[in-house]
Structure 1
Amino acid sequence: MSSPYAMPPQGDSWFAPLSIDMIVKVFKRTFFHPFIAWIVPLCFRAQNMFWDAPPMLVSIAWASFITLSWMFGVINNRMAFGLPREVDLSEEVIVITGGASGLGLLIAEVYGMRGATVAVLDVKEMENGEARGVTYYKCDVTDKAQIARVATEIERDLGTPTVLINNAAIVNGKRLLDMDIADIEKSIATNLTSHFYTLKTFLPALARSEVGGTVVTISSVIGHVGAAQLTDYAAAKAGITAMHKSLTAELRETHPEIRTVLVTAGQLSTPLFYGVQTPNAFLAPVVEPVDVAKEIIAAIDNGHNASIGMPLYARWIDWYNVLPVGLQAVARRIASVDTSMRTFVGRNGAKRSEKNGVVIQAF
């Protein structure tokens, strides 16, 4: 996916395309898939192998274990998230904050092409100009008056919102001692307070919608572990994660027809974190926005409550805080989580590089 944002040249290792996420994905679709697991004993039987032969017994035991695990996963998700809601894209009105670029724009374009009605809220113009099925509204999500005005316009122009995707975010990338109060206030307002503003504005519409609704919160693993030069960002992401979980509990009691989706992402290949390089592309690969968008779109389409973690380590990040503090310190050094922001230049730095004539693959 190309982009007019510059990226420092990197030396790829011979295993650059390979990551733990890719290996797990391959195994989930082969040896860890019930259908494939049962093919093995069937193949043995096709070779006239007796049912009590050791290879046959082992393959049947493995297939049974995988099938039971799969069934447990289905039951676990049903218990945690309940029944899905019915989704008809022709009746969905999707509101996306920070949708003029990056992940938000990608989701907007996909839904626009598929026939849904999409409203994008952003302070800057859309990168691709106009997009099919997408209506742009200039709006600063840190200003509750602007949100209220735009909400009225959306209901008048497009209909009652049914999906809210809180995607707007900014990154200062400065040490706390180097930030002034204005930097901190803007970061907290954009990354945390704006979620409360949009929810208070659009949630009543979702509640009265005849088709139910879905709330999507884009969070980050940084909200679980923190990182140097990200004190404001980490605090805000921790806040919206806690807010989302509390909101989910409230809606389960008062509005069970509204679904919630929490996205805990690692480092995304977008200009938001331009200049930051992952310390280990195998264990902690940079995530492409298209992969995250696919998971979000699938959750919305299927009407599910969901908790999405990408890449693989993001699904297990809660266990980090269970480790003894000594092991946590070791893990932080190995992951270089507190030094990775030293090369950060941000979106503005990427734009400066573009003006200098440097255009490389998207980050």
Structure 2
Amino acid sequence: MDYSSPPPGDRDSWFAPMSLDLILKVLNVSFFHPFVAWIIPLSFRAQTMHWDAPPMLLSIAWAAFLTLTWVAGIINQRIAYGPPRHVDLSEEVIVITGGSSGLGLLIAEVYGMRGASVAVLDVRDMENGEARGVTFYKCDVSDKDQVARVAAQIERDLGPPTILINNAAIVNGKPLLDLDLPSIERSISTNLLGAFYTLKAFLPSITRAEEGGTIVTVSSVLAHLGAAHLTDYCAAKAGLTALHRSLEAELRASHPHVRAVLVEPGQLSTPLFHGVRSPNAFLAPVVEPVDVCRAVVAAIDAGRGARVATPLYARCAPWYNVLPAALQVVARRLSGVDYAMRSFRGRSLAGEKEEKRAD
């Protein structure tokens, strides 16, 4: 089921899929692409235009600017994240928390079909029952004893893990005054403490891997923005981003062969935010999990560290806190970020609670 589909009145509109990100994507492979930019002065020259003609000089300057920007991006990537590690999928053991549905399931299926050994940890059974190359382990990541037990079992079954994707999350979607303490504790335990438990369980084997390993942390753009009715979720995601950055700094000094990927997407069209409507479909479109999956897989395959943030506003979110306080309030009102959860329905946690009691 597509939980992000537009209201019935908008489904047939030709402009429904149009967004700022789509326009930028087209520009990035055309007007903003260095290769395409150099075609313009070459075309002018083919028409015997002189080198000192204004259109020729302008087109060369634009192409040179884009080329320098592209080179600067490569240099920035190398300095920020170091050289890429060698990745051989036949030798990789990938652990994905919260991999029974949504983004986690997509990543699991991609790597399972490509020959990697994939272990999915979740309290819910996999949506499609099973997937090729994927082994399911029922595990509540908020329970450190279960995580430790499953970690030992994975090492026996599949071998020492080399890639960890911390993706598990739950959403309460209620005002703080309506949240009871057990709900808050479970949210923080799953969304934040669970990452500590899995890192303590799997990081030792990742750091021992001869070719290094990769740590992927799935946080959220809300780690920078916050939002009404999501106090517990945003607090956990902010802690998760801080955890990732601190761990990345530690690994850079002690284990430089381990790469770290931080994922901070906008609203995903998954059951986690069932019912939530994007305040502005043009400026803040709902993100399809396959787009985030593609970016995460590309970073892991290339053996590089990265920050994956989509759509455009998610990449710009860290600059929000630089704005004066009054402009921040105006930006929040215009964006509607604090009203989006009013239509939230979510998925029931009853099944998770029953499964936890059964364990």
When normalised by structure 1's length, the TM-score is 0.94
Question: d(CA) in 1 for partners of 2:58 and 2:16?
Answer: 35
Q: Tell me: higher relative CO, structure 1 or 2? Use CA pairs within 8 A at least 6 residues apart.
A: 1
Question: d(CA) in 2 for partners of 1:180 and 1:287?
Answer: 31
Aligned AA (1:100): S
Task: Quote the offset at 1:347 in angstroms.
Answer: 1.5
Asked whether the 8 Å contact 2:4–2:286 carries over to 1, the reply is no
* 1:328 and 2:340 aligned: no
Q: Which residue of 1 aligns with 2:317?
A: 317
Asked whether the 8 Å contact 1:7–1:274 carries over to 2, the reply is no
| Corresponding residue pairs, total | 348
* 1:11 and 2:21 aligned: no
Aligned AA (2:9): G
Q: Which residue of 1 aligns with 2:178?
A: 178
Asked whether the 8 Å contact 2:85–2:303 carries over to 1, the reply is yes
Task: Quote the offset at 1:10 in angstroms.
Answer: 4.3
Task: Quote the offset at 1:37 in angstroms.
Answer: 0.5
Runs of 4+ more than 3 Å apart = 5-11
* 1:346 and 2:346 aligned: yes
| Distance 1:253-1:6 versus aligned 2 partners, 3 A rule | closer
Q: Which residue of 1 aligns with 2:291?
A: 291
Q: Which residue of 2 aligns with 1:147?
A: 147
Question: d(CA) in 2 for partners of 1:261 and 1:107?
Answer: 14
Q: Which residue of 2 aligns with 1:221?
A: 221
Task: Quote the offset at 1:7 in angstroms.
Answer: 6.5
Q: Which residue of 1 aligns with 2:356?
A: none
Task: Quote the offset at 1:155 in angstroms.
Answer: 0.6
Structure 1 alignment gaps of length 5 or more: 352-363
- How big is each residue's C-alpha offset from its partner over 1:104-143, in whole Å with a ceiling of 9 and x where there is no partner? 0000001000111100000010000110000000001011
Asked whether the 8 Å contact 1:125–1:138 carries over to 2, the reply is yes
Question: d(CA) in 2 for partners of 1:41 and 1:230?
Answer: 52
Structure 2 alignment gaps of length 5 or more: 352-359
Q: Which residue of 2 aligns with 1:356?
A: none
- How big is each residue's C-alpha offset from its partner over 1:195-235, in whole Å with a ceiling of 9 and x where there is no partner? 00000110001011122100000011111111110000000
Question: d(CA) in 2 for partners of 1:129 and 1:48?
Answer: 64
Asked whether the 8 Å contact 2:112–2:131 carries over to 1, the reply is yes
Question: d(CA) in 2 for partners of 1:277 and 1:244?
Answer: 29
Question: d(CA) in 2 for partners of 1:203 and 1:348?
Answer: 32
Task: Quote the offset at 1:52 in angstroms.
Answer: 1.2
Q: Which residue of 1 aligns with 2:243?
A: 243
Q: What secondary structure does 2:309 align onto?
A: strand
Correspondence 1:195-210 to 2 at 5 A: 195-210=195-210
Asked whether the 8 Å contact 1:84–1:304 carries over to 2, the reply is yes
* 1:277 and 2:277 aligned: yes
- How big is each residue's C-alpha offset from its partner over 1:29-88, in whole Å with a ceiling of 9 and x where there is no partner? 111111101000011111111111111111111111110111111111111111000000
Q: Which residue of 2 aligns with 1:361?
A: none
Aligned AA (2:253): E
Q: Which residue of 1 aligns with 2:138?
A: 138
Q: Which residue of 1 aligns with 2:102?
A: 102
Segment of structure 1 superposing worse, 13-22 or 153-162? 13-22
Aligned AA (2:60): I
Task: Quote the offset at 1:11 in angstroms.
Answer: 3.2
- How big is each residue's C-alpha offset from its partner over 1:139-163, in whole Å with a ceiling of 9 and x where there is no partner? 0101111111111111111011000
Q: Which residue of 2 aligns with 1:21?
A: 21
Question: d(CA) in 2 for partners of 1:6 and 1:331?
Answer: 23
Aligned AA (1:267): Q
Asked whether the 8 Å contact 1:115–1:133 carries over to 2, the reply is yes
Question: d(CA) in 1 for partners of 2:185 and 2:119?
Answer: 27
Question: d(CA) in 2 for partners of 1:179 and 1:55?
Answer: 63
Question: d(CA) in 1 for partners of 2:184 and 2:7?
Answer: 31
Question: d(CA) in 1 for partners of 2:63 and 2:7?
Answer: 46
Task: Quote the offset at 1:14 in angstroms.
Answer: 4.2
Asked whether the 8 Å contact 1:161–1:205 carries over to 2, the reply is yes
Asked whether the 8 Å contact 1:278–1:340 carries over to 2, the reply is yes
Task: Quote the offset at 1:262 in angstroms.
Answer: 0.1
Question: d(CA) in 1 for partners of 2:216 and 2:125?
Answer: 22
| Distance 1:8-1:284 versus aligned 2 partners, 3 A rule | closer
- How big is each residue's C-alpha offset from its partner over 1:223-276, in whole Å with a ceiling of 9 and x where there is no partner? 111111000000000000001000000000000010000001100000100110
Segment of structure 1 superposing worse, 340-349 or 10-19? 10-19
Question: d(CA) in 2 for partners of 1:298 and 1:133?
Answer: 19
Q: What secondary structure does 1:195 align onto?
A: helix
Question: d(CA) in 2 for partners of 1:52 and 1:331?
Answer: 46
Aligned AA (1:295): A
Q: What secondary structure does 1:85 align onto?
A: coil
Superposition CA RMSD, Å: 1.4
Asked whether the 8 Å contact 1:40–1:59 carries over to 2, the reply is yes
Q: Which residue of 1 aligns with 2:123?
A: 123
